[in-house]
Every structure is written in structure tokens, then in C-alpha cells.
Structure 1
């Protein structure tokens, strides 16, 4: 019996698979597509996601092959009319080791994650489509298109906005799809633009963007994005507004409809939803991919421990975050805001009010001791003689009480040590070691 079956091999599913694999949890990850996708799609990795990728052991490769976002250069025809940045570049610090948004084509992010998963002994099973499942008190039986039936303790649907898992669960997907608001995306080659700027054509007077062309790091490819106006001839569109730019080749293209939706449940029994299967966003602010990675990072350690009280907190914590992020990305989209920074970097997201968050700082991101947090365990900051089954370090300067940091870097408990044992046992996490175990 497989402990966890993950459906979908995008960044969400892959992050969850790595998180489980490094904990020794038996898993399978299946993907209906016959091979990995090639399109750029999402390309922005937020600072909080980079912290997660540090913990998962992939951030060095992400940074080596990606880059900070280039400056914007706006044109009318072939004349530059404005230059500037969508974000403010910042230097790393002790509490924010990765302060800047990193551009990385999604296909490469997924490749790096697949390689890390392979190092941990697991491979994505491509061409494996889930056609149905049934759950009972003891597990879930999943049927694949091949006829194979897989028995698992838990099923996670990370299979995108059209999630088969969500649909079969009967979970509502509340929100709107704006059929008349569409975007065209294409990966193109051109030799007529420099690769140090994100090139933009539009009408400042009308506050209208005709299209943008962005260079992708460590490739010879640009990503073209344009509002769909009924004419999908991208070569003609570019020729009309930028006659000096010739598209030499269109390598991949897709049409995107503006969707703003969230599932009304993230958990039904032994089945969980994560990433786009649980929430879909406008592209504004670069939130969708990153929120899915955070879903997986939240869920992975809870599935590994597996107590009901702990698993119940996934829906509580991540639904609140998804609702907040949906509101943010929708506002940025409606305002056509290009700025990126504290609102979008996801460093300020917290689990305040969660049953897992106790005490004055409960639910906050610790924002310190990143090297010490790497790995799968809890971290206790306390001056104590009691033996605990996780790493114990001295308190932070000015710290009052004890602080227990969850494996995902958020503070679970902050208060008197006398209350810590009850907190731990209440979620079935761990307990102080008895004298005979010390």
C-alpha cells in the first residue's frame, strides 16, 4: 500500500513529493501528460519560495540558472519612451536571505525539482491518468487509465485548475471565469532585441499594453504575452506596433483565460487539494505557482506525521492564505499594477489564528536561523534541561518564553515551557523524552 499518491507533477506536486521523499514516506507521483511540458508558463519565484527551495536542496541550481527580473523598457514603435523597474533590488540579510524575485522558466523549475526527486529515489510516472477513486475509513483506491488500481492511505490532487480529483470529490470551485479576458502566451525567438530588458509596447495615453517580450535566462528564448483581442496572429501584431522586430520562430503558444476561483474545501476525508486544483489566480503579482509550492510545504510534514488533529490544520491554514492571495492578485490585475515587493514576496504570510499557532508569535515566520532550520525536524529555542526529540538551541536575543519552530519555518508555540508538552501531545507531534529514553 502506497502511503501518499500525488496526482500532478507541476511545482506543487513535485515539492510535495520531495518533502515526503526526504522524510522516508512511501509515495507515488503520477502525471497524465506523456512527457514534461516545454512552455515557459509561470516564471517568477518569490523570496519565500526560494527559502523553501533552500530547505529542499535546490536553490543553488535555481539561482545559477535563473536571474533577477530585468528592467522594463517601454516603446512606441522603435523609440524608447520610459525605463524602470517593477521591483526594488535588495541585498540579502540575516532575516531575508533571498530578497529578490527570481525569473526562472517553469519548465526548468520543474526539471530541477524532478532531478532532486530522482536523487531521493523517486520518478514521476508520466502517461498515468487518474480516471476515478473511492475512499473508505482505511484508505483510498485509485484507478488509472491503464486499469491499474492503487491503494493509498492519502491522495493529493495537485492536478491543476481542471482537477479530476477535485471534480470527483464534488468540491465546489467558487469564483469567476472571464471568457472575454484572455491572454496569449508564446515562446519565441528573435534577434532584434537585447536580453537585458523586458520590452513593452503599449499606449500610455490609453493605459493599454499591446504586448510584452521578455528574455528568459540562460536560453535564447523570449516570452511574448499579449491581451487576446480576437486576432491571434502574433507575427502581425508585433509587425504592427514594432516593425523593426521580427519573430523568427514560435516554439510554443497557449491561450490563458482569466480565472479567479477557490475550492470550498481543501480536504475531504483522506483526499487533499493543493495548488491550482485548490485555487487559481490572475497572473498579476506572480502568486499562483508560489502559493502552490507553499501548499505543498505546509502539507508535506503534516502527512508524514499523519495525526488527524495535525492534518485538519492544512485546510484551515491554507484556505485563509489562498483567499488573501486571490484578493491581492485580483486587485493588482484590475489596477494593472506592475510593482512587486512586500505585498507579493509572500514573506509576510502567516498562520495567525490557526489552531497550531499558540502564543504571541504563534503563526509567524521565524525569519532567522535558516541554516539551523534546514531538514525535516522541529527546532526549539529554549534554555531548558528537558530532553526533547528535536533540535534545541539557545533563545534568540530578547526572547521571552520558549519558541517551537515548525518544520516549515513558522512558529507553532510561543510561551511558557510548562505548556509545551500539552501542545505537542494535542497534535500528536512529539513529547519530552521519558527518563528511560534519555
Structure 2
């Protein structure tokens, strides 16, 4: 079967390819970039479930590369109004470029994943058997066709796959705008994330600080709505002239650090950027054999930084569904079994003895069948897909042996007319079921039989007919006197 095509080599696309590889599904990752992960101020906040997912996917340095928060505080002006301790539920704050580098290292060590860089998707076709994608090289312009069983678009908010599928992406284009900077500095509230609303210094509506490893902090400033006009020479590499470049950014950094520390501490500005928070949702996440995941399917606000965390959950949820569809055989197709795998009477070769009589005929890649045959695990746990996280097979097959399976239930038929009813005198083509015998009955007929022929009913209930079980007529009683003394004719 053809591999799964993943468009986009960001954290979501790489996580999806690794999750598919855990279910023994090959994949092709098409990356428009050169495969380099430069440092940027983008970060991601991960919970316990997301950190456990990264560890299962092969990125075991997620905890060591991230900073743990002790608490989250909210300040207004000069007073603290809310404190949320995070001792029981640790939160990991991780730089996005470190996350992407760790996932790329895991992808490089996985033989089931083919990573193709400098490739742009320009055309997409799908049929009932798979998906065909045409790409062009970013350097040489070479055109290449790729064939896959399914396709998943993980190529960000400006998704090319979503545009080729003509899926609408409605929502609010600009909810909030933030200026972001990465600063190396020592703040008095080490290990705590702080959100400061209406700070006492002038020029900022809202400021936020989140700790990172190695003494780094991510600083965010909420900007006023609208795009300001540049008041100084425009930097060609900046998208927010006059705000995140030059003296304006340095003024914000100095004012914020002075307000939190009392005086301006020694600091080092490492990176700066802008971020526009959007709230969008795709009209649908699936079109035939093509799917959307991550920012290509949904966008949320910026404060919680949950876009990437939700994208990782998309990859984890979609991977086992695609694996189940990839491993199950098509209806009517022969079911190949691995060499030495146990098989049932319906699927084993002629003359071969089954080693596990209870295994279902459609178990194709079930690794637990050998343990089923040894009696260490019931046959009910056999499945064509194995969960590598729990090291067990999914219980989807009945534990009853195939030879002793109960026959499928037959459709219940309506009862026939009782024996001895006038229905026996009906034509051969007339229905015998009482469900269709709904015509009016004469007064002398019993309602037990409801069928009547289209013509006049035959004389079946009278003297000499012998039918007394279904009709209301009964023969007259014999005279009580001796023979020949009755009142009837001689």
C-alpha cells in the first residue's frame, strides 16, 4: 500500500510522521524549506500529556530543554490580583526551534519516514484508491509526482493544501497584536510567569514575562489595534516598522525591566518579532482522502500559546485512525499474513495446521497472535494494529473461535395463515401472509383469516365442506329423536 503524504515539516507534520511510524505506517514528508531551524522567539507551553507524547515519539530531551513554571501570577498596576500555583500540574515552556530540532533528529533515525526538502506542492488529485501530488523543486524547478494512500496538510495558517481543496477558513483575522522579544536577564520573580495589566509605566497596555531555560525570558507586549505608520527608516526584514525595530523596541524593553526590577538591570536582547493573533476555523477538516491538522485547520488566541499544543493533539489523534485504515485490507481483497504468523481455517494455506484457531481471518499485522497461541493472552485482544505505547493489541475481535461462530441472524418473516383457513382456496399468486390480508370480511367470516380473493368468495363454509375451524358457520346439531322422526324432509 502507498505511504501517507504529509505536507509541511513543522512540529505538527514531524510529530504526525513519527506517530505513524510507531504504528508501522510509512510516510513521505514534503518540506518547502531547507530543513534549517533558526532560533526565534516563538515558544510553546506543554502540559503533561503533550510532554509524554513527545517522549513516545522519540524526543526525550523535551523536559531538559524546557523550563518549568512554579506559578502563574496576574498583576494590575502595582498589586497582585491572582496567583495560580503549578506544583501539582507542572507546565513546560519550550522554545519552538528546540522542539523542531529534536523532532527532526527523531525523524532522521526512523527508516519509515522519507523527508524531502525544498519541495513545493502545486497540484493535488485524488481518487478512490489514493492521492497524487505534483511538486516543484525550489532550486531546480524539477516537477515530481508523488503517490500516497492519504494526504495530511500540516503546512500552517497559509496552507497550500487547504487552498487546493477549496476549503474556506473563516474567522477573525486580527484579534490581538503582540510584540515579542527574547531577553537574557535576571528578574526578581524567577520561575514564575507574570501577566501585568495596566502597568504603572507609560506606553504599554499589557506586558507578560515567561521564563525559559538558561536564564532567558520571553517578553510580550500587547499593541494597540491598527497598523501604525513608520516614523523612522523601515527595516526590510521587519513587518512592524516603528514598533519591534530600532529605538521603539529598546524603549519598551527598558521601561518594562525598570518597572519590574526598580532599576534597569543588565540585559541582552537576542531576538524580536511580531505576532498577530487570529481566530479561524476551517469549514471542514477532511475532503475525501485529504485531511487538515494544526494551524491549517484552526487558529486560536496568542496568550495561551495553545496553537502548537493543539496541533500535537491533532497528530496523535489522526495517526491511529490513519493506521487503522492503512492496515485493514480492502473489502474482498486477500489478506496476507506475515511468515510464521498464526492463521485461522479460513486464511491458512492448504495443508497447514493453524497455531491459533481463534484468530480472526482478517488479522493482518497482529503481533500478539503468537502470544494468543501460547495462551498468555486471549484471542479477544487480537487486532490488525498494535498500540506501541501500551504494548498491547486493541480488543476488537471476538474471542470465540471462527469455526464455532454463531450463524448470522435471519430476517424474521411474518407468520403464515393458520391451517384450515379459507386462504388455502386462494389463487397460487395471492399472498399467504396475514400482513397483506387486510380486506373487509363478510359477517359470517372469522377475523382470524383476513384474506379474501378479488372475486366473490367460494362456498367453503357450508354443509359438506367440513371447515369449522376458521369460519363462524357451524353445522346444525343432529335431531335428538330416533332416526326418521325428525322434522326435516324425508
Q: TM-score range by the shorter chain?
A: 0.5 to 0.7
Q: 1:226 to 1:234 in 2, by over 3 A?
A: same
Aligned to 2:90, what secondary structure does the other structure show? coil
Mapping for residues 324-335 of structure 1, pairs under 5 Å: none
Aligned to 1:113: 103
Aligned to 2:146, what secondary structure does the other structure show? strand
Q: How big is the alpha-carbon RMSD for the aligned residues of Structure 1 and Structure 2? A: 3.9
- Taking the aligned partners of 1:75 and 1:385, their CA distance within structure 2 comes to 58
Q: Which structure shows the bigger proportion of residues in strand conformation?
A: 1
Aligned to 1:389: 382
Aligned to 1:36, what secondary structure does the other structure show? coil
Aligned to 2:172: 176
Aligned to 2:39: 38
Mapping for residues 233-272 of structure 1, pairs under 5 Å: 233-243=248-258, 244-245=263-264, 249-272=268-291
Residues 90-122 of structure 1: CA distance to partner in whole angstroms, max 9, x if unpaired?
Answer: 1xxxxxxxx422111121122222222222234
Q: Which of 304, 315, 320 is the equivalent residue of 1:301?
A: 320
Asked whether the equivalents of residues 140 and 153 of structure 1 are also in contact (C-alpha less than 8 Å), the reply is: yes
- Taking the aligned partners of 2:200 and 2:42, their CA distance within structure 1 comes to 29
Mapping for residues 403-414 of structure 1, pairs under 5 Å: none
Larger RCO, structure (CA 8 Å, separation 6 or more): 1
The CA deviation at 1:275 is 0.8
Asked whether the equivalents of residues 14 and 114 of structure 1 are also in contact (C-alpha less than 8 Å), the reply is: yes
- Taking the aligned partners of 2:222 and 2:117, their CA distance within structure 1 comes to 32
Q: Which moved more, 1:152-161 or 1:208-217?
A: 208-217
Mapping for residues 10-89 of structure 1, pairs under 5 Å: 10-34=10-34, 35-58=36-59, 60-71=60-71, 81-82=79-80, 85-89=83-87
Aligned to 1:48, what secondary structure does the other structure show? helix
Aligned to 1:94: none
Aligned to 2:421: none
- Taking the aligned partners of 2:182 and 2:199, their CA distance within structure 1 comes to 25
Q: 1:163 to 1:87 in 2, by over 3 A?
A: farther
Q: 1:87 to 1:302 in 2, by over 3 A?
A: same
Asked whether the equivalents of residues 177 and 222 of structure 2 are also in contact (C-alpha less than 8 Å), the reply is: yes
The CA deviation at 1:170 is 0.6
- Taking the aligned partners of 2:29 and 2:145, their CA distance within structure 1 comes to 14
Aligned to 2:210: 214
- Taking the aligned partners of 2:398 and 2:26, their CA distance within structure 1 comes to 25
Aligned to 1:125: 116
Q: Which of 126, 131, 137 is the equivalent residue of 2:128?
A: 137
Gaps of 5+ in 1: 91-98, 311-375, 392-404, 414-419, 425-429
Residues 1-21 of structure 1: CA distance to partner in whole angstroms, max 9, x if unpaired?
Answer: 851111112221111111112
Aligned to 2:461: none
Q: 1:386 to 1:25 in 2, by over 3 A?
A: closer
Matched, 1:227 2:225: no
Q: Which structure shows the bigger proportion of residues in helix conformation?
A: 1
Q: 1:57 to 1:138 in 2, by over 3 A?
A: same
Residues 18-62 of structure 1: CA distance to partner in whole angstroms, max 9, x if unpaired?
Answer: 11122332211122122224224232012221232343343x421
Q: 1:307 to 1:61 in 2, by over 3 A?
A: closer
Q: 1:249 to 1:134 in 2, by over 3 A?
A: farther
Aligned to 2:471: none
- Taking the aligned partners of 1:236 and 1:247, their CA distance within structure 2 comes to 15
- Taking the aligned partners of 1:38 and 1:193, their CA distance within structure 2 comes to 26
The CA deviation at 1:246 is 6.1
- Taking the aligned partners of 2:217 and 2:115, their CA distance within structure 1 comes to 28
Q: Report how many residues are paired.
A: 326
Q: 1:125 to 1:22 in 2, by over 3 A?
A: same
- Taking the aligned partners of 1:100 and 1:184, their CA distance within structure 2 comes to 27
Asked whether the equivalents of residues 16 and 300 of structure 1 are also in contact (C-alpha less than 8 Å), the reply is: yes
Asked whether the equivalents of residues 70 and 85 of structure 1 are also in contact (C-alpha less than 8 Å), the reply is: no
Aligned to 1:150: 146
Q: 1:74 to 1:234 in 2, by over 3 A?
A: farther
Aligned to 1:24, what secondary structure does the other structure show? coil
Q: 1:309 to 1:272 in 2, by over 3 A?
A: farther
Q: Which of the pair has more CA radius of gyration?
A: 2
Asked whether the equivalents of residues 70 and 87 of structure 2 are also in contact (C-alpha less than 8 Å), the reply is: no
Aligned to 2:182: 187
- Taking the aligned partners of 2:134 and 2:309, their CA distance within structure 1 comes to 30
Q: 1:70 to 1:166 in 2, by over 3 A?
A: same
Gaps of 5+ in 2: 138-142, 229-241, 330-366, 404-490
